[in-house]
A = this chain, B = another copy of it.
Amino acid sequence: MLKQYCREKCEIIDQALAKFIPGENVYPPILFEAMRYSLFAGGKRLRPIMLMAAADAVGGAGIHYLNVACGLEMIHTYSLIHDDLPAMDDDDYRRGKLTSHKVFGEGMAILAGDALLTAAFTTMLSQPSVPPAVVLKVLGEISTAAGANGMIGGQVIDLSSEGKTIDLETVKLMHQGKTGALFEAALRAGAQLAGAVEWQVAALTEYAQQFGLAFQITDDILDVTGSQEKIGKPVGSDIRNSKATYVTLYSLEEAKRMACQSVDSALSALSQFGTEADVLRKMVRSLLTRDS
């Protein structure tokens, strides 16, 4: 049922993204080509799906908030393009496909990222059917999460830590910025757009934080136990690059235990919700069996 939900939502999100960032009758065509290349490179649409699932969980209909949902995916995609650049992680492949700068050149990859970030706001700012004051508040939270105190801050920690040993506290801050902040913004956005009351927003915030933690720990575990074909990068690359991960800082067994604990905490955060939150419950549980 989770797969079915995700497949349905993915289709709707992909259609909306193709409409927001069109490929025909655009100028300059090469820029839109580069934006779409990364936008349709096989992303799982996790952030927009979580936004919708949060809206569903508070009794709304996630499907109404496609503008904000797609904006989150554009922000996520731009961050991947810039992270892959030679001046950052210098990756030639992502999900088995050549990265943007390998296909379009560095200059165009930087601009395609800039354009996706800007398009995210253009798209989100025209979110219909929500009181303007709510849109302003939600977008303020999303831009904060994506900015210097959130996602970009996390990437700066990552960049500054290259070749250095960093402690657990710094690793946590880095992940909270790089992935946690945007998950949290996605859940809070879905809830607030759908008119959630305070305790619901607070509970979903707690769920998001635990989800983000479990997501990162299981990501680190996959780097050791996954198959190259499925995770889209060589197994054990974190260890070879002497990256600090939950597995290298603790152990594989301890990391697995911590992942289970985060999943339990995320489930507890949802205890006051009914069956409308079942998708969120399944999503966090599925992290423990993810293979990509």
Contacts and interface: CB of A to CB of B under 8 A. Distances in A.
A155 B111 contact: yes
A187 interface: no
A106 B135 contact: no
Interface string A115-132: 101110110011000011
A144 B122 contact: yes
Given A27-B153, A114-B114, 17 more contacts: A28-B157, A35-B148, A85-B110, A87-B106, A110-B110, A111-B152, A111-B156, A113-B114, A115-B148, A115-B153, A118-B143, A118-B146, A122-B143, A125-B140, A131-B132, A132-B133, A132-B136
B88 A110 contact: yes
A113 B27 CA distance: 24
A10 interface: no
A147 interface: yes
A105 interface: yes
A28 B88 CA distance: 17
A28 B108 contact: no
A139 interface: yes
A103 interface: no
A41 interface: no
11 contacts: A27-B149, A31-B156, A78-B114, A82-B110, A82-B114, A115-B147, A115-B152, A118-B146, A121-B121, A126-B136, A132-B132
Interface of A: 26-28, 30-32, 35, 78, 82, 85, 87-88, 105-108, 110-111, 113-115, 117-119, 121-122, 125-126, 131-133, 135-136, 139-140, 143-144, 146-149, 152-153, 155-157, 159-160, 173
Nearest to A29: B156
A24 B119 CA distance: 31
Contacts of A27: 149, 153, 173
Contact of A148 (B82, B119, B143, B149): B119
In the A-B complex, the 3 residue pairs with the closest CB atoms: A87-B106, A132-B132, A118-B147
Contacts of A35: 148
Contacts of A135: 132, 136
A28 B153 contact: yes
**A117, A135, A147, A156: most-surrounded residue (chain B CB, <10 A):** A156
Given A125-B139, A159-B111, A105 B118 contact: no
B105 A87 contact: yes
Given A85-B110, A87-B110, A125 B136 contact: yes
B31 A153 contact: yes
A35 to B, nearest CB: 7
A32 B148 contact: yes
A105 B162 CA distance: 14
